[in-house]
A and B are shown apart, each in its own frame.
Chain A
């Protein structure tokens, strides 16, 4: 069956329908990872977006259940050049075609994903529609596309109620703003007892549990939409509890401390972004997935100083809070998908908690 991808600027790509046949409107973003399509699909940060994979051959190794970064796929739509006819991997339990159908994710294949990526690069991220309706009417659709916003998506992706991963080590409170599983897993692997809280949890509730450290996760959408979470984070920042934040969590801590964020032209989504640790001068290749970034131009050094910077475009990749036990990064040390190079940051967090306990 034919499918159409209609962009806000009126461009239409014709391809083949994959997954669900339903029609969706979403923000179209591209990801340049060559492996890890399942991790991308199940990353809650993609809620409210439709993802284009720039790598043309997707589904080659099928669906390996244990690689899922959450319980289900989140993107509104999935856009690829070609899906493999057969999955080939010893762990694969399903095909990507079936996986998309099962989770009712509509998509389109057989389109020139490179041409699409170039449009997004040149004109910036934009909204689009995936439909199988051959009689679509552009005049009717384009205003709807322009009007679409991702809105408050964090509440869609966060856990319903808190739960605990038992461990013998430090107690970590993980605020789930749309957390990838590997964040909790990375802490748990290091021995932490991880209590996962929904995004709606109050600061008081978290503080009352006397955690040794607080971890703020990644998540979807515009950070400025998360007004109430920002209020709670403000309170968390006033404690002496060490805080480590990733991606959306990083942006929210910045906003809570008076910094600003802005939307990038087309964001960073992929597994090849070089970030420089300003403390050591070392460069690490990082996994990234963000459309917003912290503006460091008006950052008050008394509040925070940049800790990481993107080598390609000079945007902020991390902050260290002055006089506080808080450090936050824009990229994803938990990887999945992507390079494991910055996993050492979890160790740094462990160290912070240890020092704090001994203090």
Chain B
């Protein structure tokens, strides 16, 4: 069926800020879909509140609205833009929920707008627990015995009937928010109360626990004619009980025979046919390990994280095909872009093995529970491809960038058999390392399987890796042994450590013996057809298929690896734009990256894509084949920067700022020299290596001081210390993470924090804009509300900032991007950090100012001058809009994480408010972050002594807009003394009713709780904040944020929103 000619203008809804459970995969899917729609001549209107995405580029859509994802905004947008259709299945659960609300309210029908892709009836059938269950029953597909409950009492009585443990799944939430497994009455009540509240419709499914069964997923496609295919199936190594987003996943399934495979495939096709899905769909199954019994766990009638993974694992572009199907095409009319010969109506055949490992944030949330449950906790993931499972697993492990490179990286050697047996029962992110140790200690496969329920086949594969470790430790390193170790993708570093040799020795031996990496293609068809736009993965002991192409100059672009707190989707935005800019300049582009959720790893972004870990050894293997003319490292975050030195050693020229100068920015002494020469002040500080010298430095500077390791991103390990005890504790934490770099101790200055991104061509600089943080210095820039243009700086200070930026860029010989953070105290400007690379703020500032910063920087890197490119130098004129970038957190997903903000970054994503006035921009930003107030007009304040004065002023303003204020003892005293009416409440440890009862009573809008500086010695604040977050109450931990919020609430006239098409924003 050809394209439906009535579809001319489509509204695509994105997924909003990155949160756990909804990450970069939707930018990838949305971007691919928008390009696919534009390819068909359809006008695309895009709505997404997340400015860091590629989909919100004017190159991707025709009209781009970075506005809050609320029903009101979508309605207003539809009235303004008059699209004929809405495509809701590409923006994750957020986009889908929004479209459903509009449809249910009858708005779409009234406006004559249709949902394309999948109908609302279908979405309802798949997402509504009751409808889903009855649909499955109708077509004879088994589901676990379950009941949808709307009250705790109902849940309890059903659980008692089917027996504990039971699984709880709230309806319409993402990443399994609020779900869990309850083993007892108490657990049931706790999880169920929470789940009922989080569900959009107040429903939670209570079902028979099938934990321990195999978890298998199928990605299926269906067109309007009813043709359906499966793109891929995947097997979770972790059995049912761990959210698939937190599981190690392998594709295709490894332990299913054809009978099981086809049984579940047929079931998936039956389901998608009955639901009449048009587009992509994900079906999750639980398969009994010892029979053919199975149940359907869940159906997602949209593109998902799993479909992004399946796309990258197979080469089948699910989002692109889904968009074409939405326009009316059938599968046999859509060309397979990888082969250029076959059609979308075929099933990819893999001749390799794919392993995905989640990137969990426990390095950021040290206090959080590491256990994995049905509630997703991962912020991102890595994928690797190899012709054997062992190799794929080894590559995935080192792609994580969590100081792990083998099955020995987490040390459990101190545990004896008994302790290991206990540890095996713990389901956390280190489980495969525990299993490896259990194998080393002689615990049988069967026993490990009995405890973990992980299939014997996987246990045997882990054993094969352990045996190789043993062989390397105990046997002479023959060419045969080395070959076999490399086939399993043991990195040289690990081989060196096990054999007692140096990494260089191992490398030399390899080259002498011809043991080098070869590259194979992902071609969707197991080599049956020739491929036109394949991508590559490394193997050892096979023929190489990646041929170095000649003719054009070649550039290597290093990606930024898995999405983690501190290094998010922003860097993928930068990598992709840099790649496109190089292509425009006539370069052949090569990307190395390992993140399946990103746009950069889409098959048609670079000329060549290597799906590989980003370690020096893996990069060198690519370099040896491709021999690039240069590499860019300044766009791939710290991941790429860290590879600079290694690239230089390989003889690859670093394009842009040289490695020496990158180092100068990080090396305290070199940097101090530069500052001194330039006459730029910075907070006094010292470089130290031990806790003793750190304390000496701190006392000399005077507390409070900032303590942090050098070479970090996202403020990892950075803390404000107020006394010697704090210093001891922080240094201990820093040293827990392997650190070869020194530790910095700086005087902590209280002032306005200012941030600048600039492009420098060696002579001139261009500063697109100056950003000001709402929160004072001390809160990580990624967690601060950032405002462009800076609102409170006078021209004098601005001029100083521009001057310092120019001097720094010139002294560091920056060619390309530089990011500088300043502290402004009065008229004094101090530099606190310089990063000679692209930063987190680049995407947003590009969009607000209309200056394409990354392409511009790329051209500068290639030798063009800012002036000749037609841009002004110095500070660009301010744009007509004010933009407020608001951090978004995922605290409710991570049990036990402390939510108080500080120098260590904790936010997972961001959203933007853009408007002609500050107040409207601020309101939009809060709205985009999901803070929709007022509701009950009740709030709680409990602030540290230093904040009491400000608390009075802020409380007074809240009181004026009708808030009833509850306060703990000292805060209450301060408020009363300041004449603010308030109700004093008891502390956590005091008898009920106390502050916790109040929070759990569900009628609190807001908690303002500023923790005392340094390590919080009382656990009170922590408990308050956790309980509030888990009850869905907004919690603010900084007075500045609270002031911004009350400002926004006061300005009710700012609530009439004017939607801004940023594709029309012009600066110059």
Give chain A's interface residues, CB within 8 Å of chain B.
Answer: 30, 32-36, 38-39, 54-57, 60-61, 64, 67, 81-82, 84-86, 88-91, 112-115, 117-118, 121, 270-274, 276, 281-285, 311-312, 335-341
Contact B332 A114 (CB under 8 A): no
User: A90 to B258, Cβ gap below 8 A?
Assistant: no
Given A54-B526, A89-B255, A114-B520: A84 in contact with B350 (beta carbons within 8 A): no
Q: Which of B923-955 contact A (CB under 8 A)?
A: none
Structural contact, A115 and B332, CB atoms closer than 8 A? no
Contact B543 A112 (CB under 8 A): yes
Query: Which residues of the partner chain B approach A285 to less than 8 Å between Cβ atoms?
Result: 229-230, 345-347
A-chain residues with CB within 8 Å of residue B258 when the two chains form the complex: 33, 35-36, 38-39, 67, 336-338
| Smallest Cβ-Cβ distance to B464: which chain A residue | A85
| Set of chain B residues within 8 Å of A38, measured between Cβ atoms | 257-258
Contact partners of B348 in chain A: CB under 8 A: 272
Chain B residue nearest in CB terms to A120: B527
List chain B residues, Cβ under 8 A from A30: 528
Complex contacts, A336 vs chain B, CB 8 Å: 258
- Give the complex CA separation of A338 and B266 in angstroms: 11
Q: Which residue of B lies closest to A335 (CB)?
A: B262
Known: A55-B252, A283-B332; 5 extra A-B contacts, CB below 8 A, are A35-B261, A54-B349, A86-B457, A271-B347, A282-B225
Given A57-B254, A274-B345, A64-B353 contact (CB < 8 Å) = no
* B290 contacts chain A at the CB level, 8 A cutoff: yes
Q: Would B526 and A32 count as touching, CB distance under 8 A?
A: yes
Determine the distance from Cα of A282 to Cα of B388 in the docked complex, in whole angstroms: 37
Complex CA gap A142/B1040 in Å reads 83
Contact with A along B534-554 (1 / 0, CB 8 A): 000000011101000000000
Residues of A within 8 A of B227 (CB): 282-284
The distance from the CB of A118 to the nearest CB of chain B, in whole angstroms, is 5
Give the 3 A-B CB pairs with smallest separation, nearest first.
A36-B258, A272-B347, A88-B457
Chain B nearest CB: distance from A347 CB in Å? 15
The CA of A39 and the CA of B229, in the complex, are separated in Å by 22
Task: Please give, as numbers and ranges, the residues of chain B lying within 8 Å of A312 by CB-CB distance.
Answer: 341-343, 346, 529
A-binding residues in B (CB < 8 A): 225-227, 229-230, 252-259, 261-262, 265-266, 269, 289-291, 330-332, 341-343, 345-353, 387-389, 445, 455-457, 460, 464, 520, 525-530, 541-543, 545
Quick one: closest A residue to B252, CB to CB? Answer: A34
Q: Is B456 in contact with A86, judged by CB distance below 8 angstroms?
A: yes
Instruction: Evaluate whether A86 and B526 lie within 8 angstroms (CB atoms) in the complex, with A36-B258, A272-B347 already known.
Output: no
Closest to B543 in A: A115
A57 touches which one: B388, B527, B542 (CB < 8 A)? B388
Is A61 touching B255 in the complex (CB atoms < 8 A)? yes
Give the CA-CA distance A88 to B235 in the complex, in Å.
Answer: 14
Known A32-B349, A36-B258, A117-B351; contact A340-B543, beta-carbon cutoff 8 A: no
Q: How far is the CB of A103 from chain B (nearest CB, A)?
A: 19
Instruction: Report if A283-B345 is in contact (Cβ < 8 Å); known contacts: A60-B457, A112-B543, A274-B332.
Output: yes
A55–B258 Cα distance when bound, in Å, is 13
Closest to A341 in B: B269
A85 to B347, CA, bound (A): 28
Contact of A34 with B349 in the complex, beta carbons under 8 Å? yes
| A274 and B257 contacting across the interface, CB-CB below 8 Å | no
User: Can you sample 27 A-B contacts with CB below 8 Å?
Assistant: A32-B349, A32-B351, A34-B349, A35-B252, A35-B261, A36-B261, A54-B351, A54-B526, A56-B353, A56-B387, A57-B254, A57-B353, A60-B457, A86-B460, A88-B456, A114-B545, A274-B332, A283-B331, A283-B332, A284-B227, A285-B230, A311-B342, A338-B262, A339-B265, A339-B347, A340-B266, A341-B266
Verify A311–B343 contact, CB threshold 8 A: yes
Q: Which residue of B lies closest to A113 (CB)?
A: B351
A272-B349 contact in complex given A60-B255, A339-B262, C-beta closer than 8 Å: yes
B227 — nearest CB in chain A belongs to which residue?
A: A283
When chains A and B are docked, how far (Å) is the Cα of A276 from the Cα of B291? 35
Contact between B457 and A84, CB atoms less than 8 A apart: yes
User: Inside 8 A of A283's CB, which chain B residues have their CB?
Assistant: 227, 330-332, 345
On chain A, the residues within 8 Å of B290 by CB distance are 90
Q: Which residues of B contact A281 (CB under 8 A)?
A: 225
Q: Which residue of B lies closest to A85 (CB)?
A: B460
Counting chain A CB atoms within 10 Å of each CB, the highest count among B290, B349, B520 belongs to: B349
State how many angstroms separate the Cβ of B226 from the closest Cβ of chain A.
6
A56-B388, A282-B226 known; A88+B455 contact, CB < 8 A: yes
Would you give the shortest CB distance from B408 to chain A, in whole angstroms?
Answer: 21
Within 8 Å by CB of B525, from A32, A271, A341, lies A32
> What residues on B are CB-neighbors of A335 within 8 Å?
262
Q: Assuming A56-B351, A56-B352, A114-B351, is B528 touching A67 (CB within 8 A)?
A: no
Assess the A82–B331 pair: CB atoms within 8 A: no
Question: Which chain A residue lies CB-closest to B341?
Answer: A312
B527 contacts which chain A residues (CB < 8 A)? 54, 114, 117-118, 121
CA distance A40 to B233 in the complex (A): 20
Q: Report how far A67 CA is from B261 CA in the complex, Å.
A: 13
User: Judging by beta carbons under 8 Å apart, are B257 and A67 in contact?
Assistant: yes
Bound-complex Cα distance A138 to B677 (A): 75
Q: Which residues of A contact B457 (CB under 8 A)?
A: 60-61, 84, 86, 88
B337 to nearest A CB, angstroms?
15
Determine the residue in chain A with the shortest Cβ distance to B233. A34
Which of chain B's residues have a CB closer than 8 A to the CB of A118? 527, 545
Known contacts A35-B257, A35-B261; is-contact A57 B349 (Cβ 8 Å): no
Q: Tell me the minimal C-beta distance from A121 to chain B in angstroms.
A: 6
Determine whether the beta carbon of A117 is less than 8 Å from that of B257. Answer: no
Interchain CA distance A234-B530 in the complex, whole Å:
40
On chain B, the residues within 8 Å of A117 by CB distance are 351, 526-528
B230, B541, B542: residue with the most chain A Cβ atoms closer than 10 Å: B542
Interface centre among A64, A85, A272, A337 (most CB of B within 10 A): A272
- A336 CA / B256 CA spacing, docked (Å): 14
Distance A259 CA – B332 CA, assembled complex (angstroms): 28
Complexed CA–CA distance, A82 and B464 (Å) = 13
Cross-chain contact of A311 among B259, B291, B346, B455 (Cβ < 8 A): B346
Q: Which residues of A contact B343 (CB under 8 A)?
A: 274, 311-312
Q: Are A112 and B542 in contact (CB under 8 A)?
A: yes
Tell me the smallest distance from the CB of B181 to a CB of chain A, in Å.
25
Q: For the complex, give the distance between the alpha carbons of A88 and B389 in Å.
A: 15
Give the shortest distance, in Å, between B874 (CB) and chain A (any CB). Answer: 56
What is the CB-to-nearest-CB distance from A315 to chain B, in angstroms, rounded to a whole number? 13
Q: Would A90 and B289 count as touching, CB distance under 8 A?
A: yes
Interchain CA distance A284-B225 in the complex, whole Å: 12
Docked CA distance A336–B371 (Å): 41
Q: Judging by beta carbons under 8 Å apart, are B349 and A270 in contact?
A: yes
Query: What is the bound-complex CA distance between A36 and B258, given in angstroms?
Result: 5
Best-buried of A36, A283, A335, A341 by chain B (most CB within 10 Å): A283
- Complex: chain A residue closest to B544, CB-CB: A115
Instruction: Tell me, rounded to whole Å, the shortest Cβ–Cβ distance linking B238 to chain A.
Output: 16
Q: Which residue of B lies closest to A89 (CB)?
A: B257
Write out the residue numbers on chain A whose beta carbons fall within 8 Å of the beta carbon of B330: 283
Q: Which residue of A lies closest to B349 (CB)?
A: A32
Q: Is the CB–CB distance between A274 and B346 below 8 Å?
A: yes
Chain A CB within 10 A, most for which of B269, B346, B352, B527 = B527
B387's partner among A33, A81, A84, A282 (CB-CB below 8 A) is A81
**Complex Cα distance A336/B346, Å?**
18
Q: Which residues of A contact B255 (CB under 8 A)?
A: 60-61, 88-89
Nearest Cβ in chain B — how far from A284, in angstroms?
A: 8
Residues of A within 8 A of B545 (CB): 114, 118
Q: How far is the CA of A67 from the CA of B262 in the complex (A)?
A: 13
**Docked complex Cα distance between A162 and B257 (Å):** 31
- In the bound complex, how far is the Cα of B468 from the Cα of A195, in angstroms? 55
Nearest Cβ in chain A — how far from B263, in angstroms?
A: 9
Looking at A35, A273, A336, the one whose CB has the most chain B CB atoms below 10 A away is A35
Whole-angstrom CA separation of A224 from B535 in the bound complex: 42
Most buried by A among B351, B353, B388, B541: B351
Q: A39-B258, A88-B255 are in contact. Are A272 and B350 (CB under 8 A)?
A: no
